[in-house]
């Protein structure tokens, strides 16, 4: 007789699997519904942000960014490229750096070597000076697509680096000429350095603007020492003053922000539609700024694949929204002045610096805040050197520096710009054989002319002039 319980099933076990499948299906449907709802909400939140950026001037196609052509006889880049092909700095790069920065063994011990380097590059420097006197500059660039596709395998980055090195050569020449009492040569070299800076500032990529700021700093940091070594005429001072006035640190910065914002938004779109192309762009950008090891490259490649995956579309939308907010704030600060703007730039820089490491597009464009702070320093240096040139002209005509800033303010024909960090006149005082000029600098308070050791630390930005 067969046991009726031999094939019996535990009570209630049969329905468990179908029930679990139903629960899993419900969970999946809920998750997908929530995901789609969040996607729609984020897309809805992104739309007005994009519209505001477009209203601020950010274009929607690369064609809208293409600058007008420049005739060859007006384009400084034609002469720069000829000069760069002739420059020979294989052995003298560090000597020029130390001579201009007054580092290492000091200028006196480097004089003979610097004279030899300048003489060896005389023909190239003549071409650089001729180019610097031209009204505009634009190196050849294919505007059919993002500079992302061009930077890692193009002459653009080396050209910018050579522009900086040319500015150092010109600064060294001006210092050497001042030491020898050759005012005309010192003046010509300084004026050419300002031309280099203006041309680099007009470059569309952000790194071009940063190079322009660097060229300005190299040139103007040499100016106080040059003024101590020679007597520039009031007319020469005025020519340099006007050259500084033409350094467009505001409108060009806004143009750079427009290009940078468009490129970021374009890259978000490419990541959604052509992930393989986006990976190539981001990988190329990484190679521009560093040469990663094989292991680091493999790890980054894995992150790129995950980042450009359709599965990460939702967090990328959140990143794009945050980026749009930061870009809009940068536009609002592009021409801002006064201590409040410094605080806001610092806050924006800190916020972008804290961007998660997996926000690859935002991190690639976060330097805009750092360059914004550098622009503030560049404006301060430009303004201070305009005041210094007014002081030099006053000294040339009166035989001494003014007793007070009020006396300088009454000097006709020389508008005196403000210290951006205080929003007031630069601090000024006489001393026995010269004068002291200083800015409040980034700590935003008056430290009585005590020089800081590094940007962002307590202290003032101080320039001394002796006779």
Q: Which residues pair with 427 in a beta bridge?
A: 438
Contact call for residues 428 and 436 (beta carbons, < 8 A): yes
**pLDDT at residue 150 in the model:** 47
Strand order in the sheet with 427-431: 427-431, 434-439, 461-466
| 130 Cα distance to chain centroid | 26
Alpha carbon distance 446, 339 (integer Å): 12
One digit per residue, the tens of pLDDT, for the chain of length 467 reads 445 555 555 555 556 778 788 888 888 888 888 888 998 999 999 999 999 999 999 998 888 888 888 999 999 999 999 999 999 887 788 899 999 988 666 788 999 999 999 999 999 999 999 999 999 998 877 666 555 444 444 445 677 888 999 999 999 999 999 999 999 999 999 999 999 999 988 765 677 888 899 999 999 999 999 998 888 999 999 999 999 998 888 888 888 899 889 989 999 999 999 999 888 888 776 665 554 556 677 777 888 899 999 889 999 999 999 999 999 999 999 888 888 888 898 898 888 888 888 888 888 777 678 888 889 899 999 999 999 999 999 999 999 999 999 999 888 889 999 999 999 999 999 988 899 999 999 889 999 999 887 776 789 999 998 87
| Lookup: tokens for 167 | 């500015």
**pLDDT at residue 351 in the model:** 86
Matching residue, tokens 């094989």 = 294
Task: Using alpha carbons only, give the angle 142, 143, 149 rounded to the nearest 5 degrees.
Answer: 70
Contact call for residues 218 and 171 (beta carbons, < 8 A): yes
**pLDDT at residue 458 in the model:** 84
- pTM score: 0.86
**pLDDT at residue 68 in the model:** 84
Query: What is the DSSP annotation of 148-200?
Result: HHHHTTSSHHHHHHHHHHHHHHHHHHHHHHHHTT-HHHHHHHHHHHHHHHHHH
**pLDDT at residue 48 in the model:** 97
| Lookup: tokens for 287 | 């190679």
Q: What are phi and psi of 439, to 5 degrees?
A: -105, 150
**pLDDT at residue 299 in the model:** 79
């Amino acid at each position: 007789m067969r046991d009726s319980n031999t094939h019996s099933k535990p009570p209630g076990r049969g329905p468990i699997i179908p029930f679990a499948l139903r629960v899993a299906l419900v969970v999946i449907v809920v998750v997908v519904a929530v995901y789609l709802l969040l996607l729609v909400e984020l897309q809805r939140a992104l739309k007005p942000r994009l519209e505001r950026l477009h209203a601020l001037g950010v274009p929607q196609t690369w064609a809208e960014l293409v600058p007008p052509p420049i005739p060859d006889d007006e384009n400084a880049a034609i002469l720069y490229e000829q000069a760069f092909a002739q420059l020979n700095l294989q052995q003298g790069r560090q000597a020029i750096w130390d001579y201009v920065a007054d580092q290492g063994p000091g200028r006196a011990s480097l004089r003979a070597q610097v004279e030899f380097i300048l003489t060896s590059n005389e023909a190239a420097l003549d071409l650089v000076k001729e180019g610097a006197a031209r009204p505009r500059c634009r190196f050849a660039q294919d505007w059919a697509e993002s500079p992302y596709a061009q930077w890692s395998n193009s002459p653009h980055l080396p050209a910018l680096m050579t522009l900086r090195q040319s500015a150092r050569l010109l600064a060294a020449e001006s210092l050497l000429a001042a030491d020898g009492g050759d005012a005309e040569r010192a003046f010509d070299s300084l004026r050419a350095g300002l031309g280099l800076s203006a041309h680099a500032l007009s470059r569309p990529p952000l790194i071009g603007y940063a190079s322009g700021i660097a060229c300005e700093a190299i040139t103007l940091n040499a100016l106080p020492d040059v003024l101590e070594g020679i007597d520039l005429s009031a007319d020469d001072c005025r020519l340099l003053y006007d050259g500084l006035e033409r350094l467009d640190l505001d409108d060009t910065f806004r143009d750079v922000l427009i290009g940078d914002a468009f490129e970021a938004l374009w890259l978000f779109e490419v990541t959604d539609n052509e992930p393989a192309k986006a990976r190539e762009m981001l990988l190329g950008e990484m190679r521009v700024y560093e040469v990663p090891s094989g292991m680091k490259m493999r790890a980054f490649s894995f992150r790129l694949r995950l980042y450009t995956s359709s599965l990460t579309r939702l967090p990328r939308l959140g990143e794009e929204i945050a980026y749009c907010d930061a870009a809009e704030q940068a536009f609002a600060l592009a021409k801002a002045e006064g201590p409040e703007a410094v605080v806001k730039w610092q806050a924006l820089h800190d916020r972008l610096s804290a961007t998660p490491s997996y926000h690859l597009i935002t991190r690639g464009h976060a330097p805009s805040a750092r360059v914004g702070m550098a622009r503030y320093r560049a404006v301060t240096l430009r303004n201070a050197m305009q005041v210094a040139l007014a002081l030099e002209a006053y000294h040339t005509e009166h035989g001494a520096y003014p007793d007070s800033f009020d006396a300088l303010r009454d000097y006709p024909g020389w508008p005196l710009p403000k210290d951006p960090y205080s929003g007031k006149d630069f601090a000024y005082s006489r001393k026995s054989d010269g004068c002291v000029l200083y800015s409040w600098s980034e700590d935003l308070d008056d430290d009585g002319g005590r020089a800081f050791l590094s940007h962002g630390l307590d202290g003032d930005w101080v320039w001394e002039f002796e006779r």
